[in-house]
Amino acid sequence: MIDLHAHTFHSDGSLSPEELLALGNAAGLEALAITDHDTFRGYDEAASLPRSRPIELICGIELSSKHQGRSVHLLGYFLRQGPADGFRRWLEELETQRKDRNRRLTHQLQQLGAPIELHEAEALGRTMTGRPHFARVLVAKGFVRTYEEAFERYLGEAGLAYVEREAPALEEGIERIRQAGGVSSLAHPVRIRVAAVEDLVRRLAGIGLDALEVFHSDHGPAERKRFLELARCCDLAVTGGSDFHGAIKPRIKLGSVPVERRWLDELKDRRP
């Protein structure tokens, strides 16, 4: 079994890369992709650790991109890591934009009578501090009762403190991943709020999308069937994983979404 979708505390997961690898070993995974949001830090750290058991560690990323004004997640795998590849430099630019958004978000919250400090959210989020970390601070300080309420009242797109963050278009993400020698996979398509996901996927396949995430903890049997058929009909490879976040989403266990090894072999064949 393999798991091609997992987060560490370098984005919004709760485990260190070392703990995540140990858990992958304990779960008996053959391969594990670390797919933190917009950063390679989790993968980099994991890759530098000594590995006692032969789990295959795969370099991945989950890019936050935009499509029709909404956030769409795009997975990337096997990206080249050389200094000549501009991908890491590009990620640094995105990180700067995120930091700027976080400063403005903090200011908004302070104006709205929910005075939290930026460092409080950053203490939870390390380099990839995002709205989930702000939500946890708002709960911890009693300004809202639940994580969900933090998004409803303050942080969500309809929330009072919402500050839009610049994000690359989905098409740009696909192109950048390809240019860095990687393959792209459209993450958890069930979450994409467009009238016809089928049409979007067909179009993206035509401009270089390599794969579709068919197996995911948000997908039931009907979705798996629907998206497997869609992948087949668009000649896309198939990816899958649990989207493990540790204690942040305790219901979702690492390796809990069955994904066969052969999908990974087919994915590798798509490398440009």
Binding site for ligand AMP (CB under 6 A): 64, 130-132, 148, 151, 156, 165
User: Taking the mean position of all CA atoms in its chain, how far away is CA 224?
Assistant: 19
- Measured CA to CA, the distance from residue 218 to residue 108 in angstroms comes to 32
For residue 91, give the nearest of 106, 102, 79 by alpha carbon: 79
Asked if 65 and 73 count as a contact pair (C-beta separation under 8 A), the reply is yes
3 near Fe ion (CB under 5 A): no
Please give the residues from 1 up to 40 whose contact with Zn ion meets the rule CB under 5 A: 7, 12
3-state SS, residue 165: coil
Asked if 145 and 180 count as a contact pair (C-beta separation under 8 A), the reply is no
Least distance to Fe ion, CB of residue 143, Å: 26
Please give the residues from 167 up to 226 whose contact with Fe ion meets the rule CB under 5 A: 187
- Measured CA to CA, the distance from residue 131 to residue 135 in angstroms comes to 6
Least distance to ligand AMP, CB of residue 23, Å: 21
Q: Work out what residue 151 binds among ligand AMP, Fe ion, Zn ion, none; the CB cut-off runs from 5 to 8 Å by kind.
A: ligand AMP
Q: Which is nearer to Fe ion, 38 or 210 (CB)?
A: 38
Give the DSSP letter of residue 183: E
Least distance to ligand AMP, CB of residue 88, Å: 19
- Measured CA to CA, the distance from residue 272 to residue 264 in angstroms comes to 15
Least distance to Zn ion, CB of residue 170, Å: 17
Q: Which is nearer to ligand AMP, 29 or 76 (CB)?
A: 76
Least distance to Zn ion, CB of residue 108, Å: 23
Q: Which is nearer to Fe ion, 38 or 62 (CB)?
A: 62
- Measured CA to CA, the distance from residue 220 to residue 85 in angstroms comes to 38
Output the residue with the shortest Cβ distance to Zn ion.
12
**Sole binder of Fe ion in the list 73, 98, 216, 224 (CB under 5 A):** 73
Q: Work out what residue 243 binds among ligand AMP, Zn ion, Fe ion, none; the CB cut-off runs from 5 to 8 Å by kind.
A: Fe ion
Residue environment code for 169-188, b if the CB has 16+ CB neighbours within 10 A, otherwise e: ebbebbebbbbbebbbbbbb
Letter for the amino acid at 245? H
Residues that bind Fe ion (CB under 5 A): 62, 73, 187, 243
Residues that bind Zn ion (CB under 5 A): 7, 12
